[in-house]
Amino acid sequence: MTMDFIDLPPMLDATGQVRLPGSKSISNRTLLLAALAEGRTEIRDLLASDDVERMLDALRTLGVSWAREGDSDHYRVDGVAGPFPVKAADLFLGNAGTAFRPLTAALALSGGEYRLTGVARMHERPIGDLVDGLRQVGANVRYLGVEGFPPLHILPAAIRPGGMLRVRGDVSSQFLTALLMALPLTGTQTTIEVVGELISKPYISITLDLMARFGVEVQREGWTRFTVPGGARYRSPGTLFVEGDASSASYFLAAGAIGGGPVRVEGVGRSSIQGDVRFAEALAELGARVDIGDNWIEARAPESGRLKAFDLDLNHIPDAAMTLAVAALFADGPCTLRNIASWRVKETDRIAAMAKELRKVGAAVEEGADFLRVTPPAKLVPAAIDTYDDHRMAMCFSLVSLGGCRVRINEPKCVNKTFPTYFECFASITRPVPVIAIDGPSASGKGTVAARVAAALGYHYLDSGSLYRLVALAARRAELSLDDEPALAALAACLPARFSAARVMLDDEDVTDAIRSETCSVGASRVAALPAVRAALLGRQHDYRRAPGLVAEGRDMGSIVFPDATVKIFLTATVEARAQRRYKQLMEKGMGASMESLLKDLHERDARDAARTVAPLKKLPDAVLLDTTKVDVEQAVGFVLDRVRS
């Protein structure tokens, strides 16, 4: 199976505005409450994502009628005013905890027979505490696989009216949420006593707030006793607006704090009911400048430019806290995230996953049962980040690109769980380090033009041909055959080459002139036709992309190495003009040459560059053609600069 990935280039900065997708927590709670309520509920700005799809599918299967307005985010749900009318169903709920837990509770009290399954990871996420709670009121819930975990088999049962039940609150607050939302189905007063310290309290606040909007007021004594009144019935509030997702906001606010900013998110603010808006406070403790309005939050980098090291208890913002673990890479010292044990039972074991991936980009990480300690590296290291089918891993690690470091995110589609357009939104507030790609045949003037354009703009400069020349030279020194692709690729992967000022060094030898020899030219053209050699040189070429920008010249700069280049030029000239230039160049260097053999060589190299199967030389549609046969260097440079500035 091939791995899907997205490569994020190093970014210059982050500024702009993002309209947030709807909150996952509010979307799925609202859908369930609207389904159980009496009357029709119009839901505005519902989140469009996998987890919400799972809930919508399940509700339809359970006999709830709902409709979407065109392809908008507006939905209409006709409530069934009590337990679900469909009394037998099999439901697949993916990895959606916000669908699985509350539906388990509501179905256990619906007097039917149901089977609830999910993806493999869902079957590893504990649900025993919820089942234990439900059994206390007489529900008949059985495990189809491992005791304490989904999948579940729910059977009709006589629910015992009234009374008291106990549920653990220290593994997942979703168990309490699920019970609270389902209990009005019994019609009798029930008190839930929370055993153990309740975690993620703000999520319970969301539940209580939404239940109240649907007409059920839960009485709460601290965070230990919750009483659902007798005769409570859900009634549609009419129209309900879903707030933007406060956890999703965290990535953009962190981007503003790391990448300069200001970055503004719209859809959450001061009046939000989501606990994760308090991520903004945490960010402020790191020194970021944060402003909050009723329906927006904005973040900018600290005055000093660098985030401060932190040591924080993050139990109240477990999801957004992941963003802080990656923000720690940009802090001025070691950072500690405490009281985050619930990470271990989320989409993946997030403590282990976070530690492993942070180490890949160079951080030193210490991990414990309920904490992480992250020491930022002096310099970030480009890496391919695994995402563990966890949307938040993918979104968090996009921030690495703001550290002037490219990053690959494997299996990025996991963001569909809560934020299908995440990478588009991230692109809309970030500016990649610009690349000007100049490709063309030998002696068309690429090197000359590229170096002058780079100097004019203050950009870095990559002469990619010199890398192939270096491989050819190093191969000859190592007495490798130019057909031995694996050996040449291994050589290319760890080429001990350095570029300092205008000199090219191989180990400690100055090879600036040596790589320009006729043998190296021919050798370069031959090794360049080997796919493994090209692949081995890719990372090295990407490393040249550094602020404030790069001018890269070669054969495949715009097509393969930097396909997202800002400006792409295809520089060419007739083969006669090019031969003449090369002749003149060699004469000036005091090296002998014959016009005839130069022409022959150019013809051969053009043919080989154009005919090879990997990265063949050709002008692509998105490149601008610049024929320099009758254009001098000055004019050619002017042409490219005009393109850059327009």
Ligand X SMILES: Nc1ncnc2c1ncn2[C@@H]1O[C@H](COP(=O)(O)OP(=O)(O)O)[C@@H](O)[C@H]1O
Which does residue 554 bind out of ligand X, ligand CDP, none, counting CB within 5 to 8 angstroms by kind? Answer: ligand CDP
Among 93, 528, 569, 636, binds ligand CDP (CB under 6 A): 528
Three-state secondary structure call for residue 46: coil
Binding to ligand CDP by residue 578, rule CB under 6 A? no
Neighbours of 616 (CB within 10 A): 14
Per 3-state DSSP, the chain is made up of helix, strand and coil in percentages (nearest 5) of 40, 25, 35
Among 133, 150, 202, 465, binds ligand CDP (CB under 6 A): 465
Report the C-alpha gap between 69 and 61 in whole angstroms: 20
Q: Which residues partner with 442 through β-bridges?
A: none
Collect all residues with Cβ–Cβ distance below 8 Å to 544 and sequence separation of at least 6. Answer: 460, 462, 550, 552
Collect all residues with Cβ–Cβ distance below 8 Å to 605 and sequence separation of at least 6. Answer: 441, 442, 521, 522, 525
Report the C-alpha gap between 218 and 190 in whole angstroms: 10
Report the C-alpha gap between 565 and 550 in whole angstroms: 9
- DSSP code of residue 403: G
To ligand X, the closest distance from the beta carbon of 447 in angstroms equals 3
Given a contact cutoff of 8 angstroms between Cβ atoms, the answer to whether 300 and 277 are in contact is no
Report the C-alpha gap between 40 and 429 in whole angstroms: 38
Among 469, 545, 568, 581, binds ligand CDP (CB under 6 A): 469
Among 28, 207, 236, 444, binds ligand X (CB under 6 A): 444
Which does residue 591 bind out of ligand CDP, ligand X, none, counting CB within 5 to 8 angstroms by kind? Answer: none
Given a contact cutoff of 8 angstroms between Cβ atoms, the answer to whether 453 and 565 are in contact is no
Site for ligand X in 456-485 (CB under 6 A): none
Q: Give which of 508, 294, 259 is closest to 405, Cα–Cα.
A: 259
- Cβ-based nearer residue to ligand X, 188 or 444: 444
Collect all residues with Cβ–Cβ distance below 8 Å to 242 and sequence separation of at least 6. Answer: 22, 23, 26, 27, 30, 43, 44, 45, 46, 47
CA quadruple 148, 190, 80, 110: dihedral positive or negative?
positive
- Cβ-based nearer residue to ligand CDP, 372 or 443: 443
Report the C-alpha gap between 6 and 381 in whole angstroms: 17
- Cβ-based nearer residue to ligand X, 406 or 555: 555
Q: Give which of 301, 609, 571, 267 is closest to 448, Cα–Cα.
A: 571
Report the C-alpha gap between 79 and 85 in whole angstroms: 11
Q: Which residues partner with 235 through β-bridges?
A: 38
Site for ligand CDP in 597-636 (CB under 6 A): 605, 609
- Cβ-based nearer residue to ligand X, 335 or 435: 435
Binding to ligand CDP by residue 269, rule CB under 6 A? no
Collect all residues with Cβ–Cβ distance below 8 Å to 431 and sequence separation of at least 6. Answer: 11, 12, 13, 14
Which does residue 342 bind out of ligand X, ligand CDP, none, counting CB within 5 to 8 angstroms by kind? Answer: none
Binding to ligand CDP by residue 524, rule CB under 6 A? yes
- Cβ-based nearer residue to ligand CDP, 297 or 450: 450
In the chain, what is the greatest distance between 2 CA atoms, to the nearest angstrom? 102
Which does residue 469 bind out of ligand X, ligand CDP, none, counting CB within 5 to 8 angstroms by kind? Answer: ligand CDP
- Cβ-based nearer residue to ligand CDP, 355 or 454: 454
Among 169, 269, 275, 447, binds ligand X (CB under 6 A): 447
To ligand CDP, the closest distance from the beta carbon of 268 in angstroms equals 46
To ligand CDP, the closest distance from the beta carbon of 582 in angstroms equals 8
Q: Which of 319, 390, 439, 463 is labelled catalytic?
A: 319
To ligand X, the closest distance from the beta carbon of 525 in angstroms equals 12
- The pair of structure tokens assigned to 197 is 């310290």
Site for ligand CDP in 543-562 (CB under 6 A): 554-556
Interaction pattern, residues 604-643, with ligand X; x per rule: CB under 6 A: ------------------------x--xxx--x-------
- The pair of structure tokens assigned to 343 is 């990470």
To ligand X, the closest distance from the beta carbon of 606 in angstroms equals 12
Interaction pattern, residues 571-590, with ligand X; x per rule: CB under 6 A: ----------x---x-----
Active site residue 627: no
Which residue of this chain has its Cβ atom nearest to ligand X in the complex? 445
- Cβ-based nearer residue to ligand CDP, 69 or 604: 604
| DSSP codes joined into one string, 528-585 | TT-HHHHHHHHHHHHTT--TT-EEEEESSIIIII-TT-SEEEEEE--HHHHHHHHHHH
Among 448, 521, 559, 572, binds ligand X (CB under 6 A): 448
Which does residue 605 bind out of ligand CDP, ligand X, none, counting CB within 5 to 8 angstroms by kind? Answer: ligand CDP
Which does residue 524 bind out of ligand CDP, ligand X, none, counting CB within 5 to 8 angstroms by kind? Answer: ligand CDP
Site for ligand X in 105-124 (CB under 6 A): none
Neighbours of 261 (CB within 10 A): 23
Binding to ligand X by residue 445, rule CB under 6 A? yes
Given a contact cutoff of 8 angstroms between Cβ atoms, the answer to whether 527 and 486 are in contact is no
Task: Pick out the residues of the known binding site for ATP.
Answer: 440-448
To ligand X, the closest distance from the beta carbon of 558 in angstroms equals 14
How many degrees, rounded to 5, is the angle at CA 281 between CA 359 and CA 301?
65
Neighbours of 165 (CB within 10 A): 17
Report the C-alpha gap between 108 and 141 in whole angstroms: 7
- Cβ-based nearer residue to ligand X, 190 or 442: 442
To ligand X, the closest distance from the beta carbon of 360 in angstroms equals 36
Task: Pick out the residues of the known binding site for 3-phosphoshikimate.
Answer: 24-25, 29, 172-174, 200, 319, 346
- Cβ-based nearer residue to ligand X, 364 or 633: 633
Task: Pick out the residues of the known binding site for phosphoenolpyruvate.
Answer: 24, 97, 125, 174, 350, 392, 417
Residues contributing to the site for ligand X (CB under 6 A)? 440, 442-448, 581, 585, 628, 631-633, 636
Interface residues with ligand CDP (CB under 6 A) are 442-443, 464-466, 468-469, 521, 524-525, 528, 554-556, 605, 609
Catalytic positions are: 319
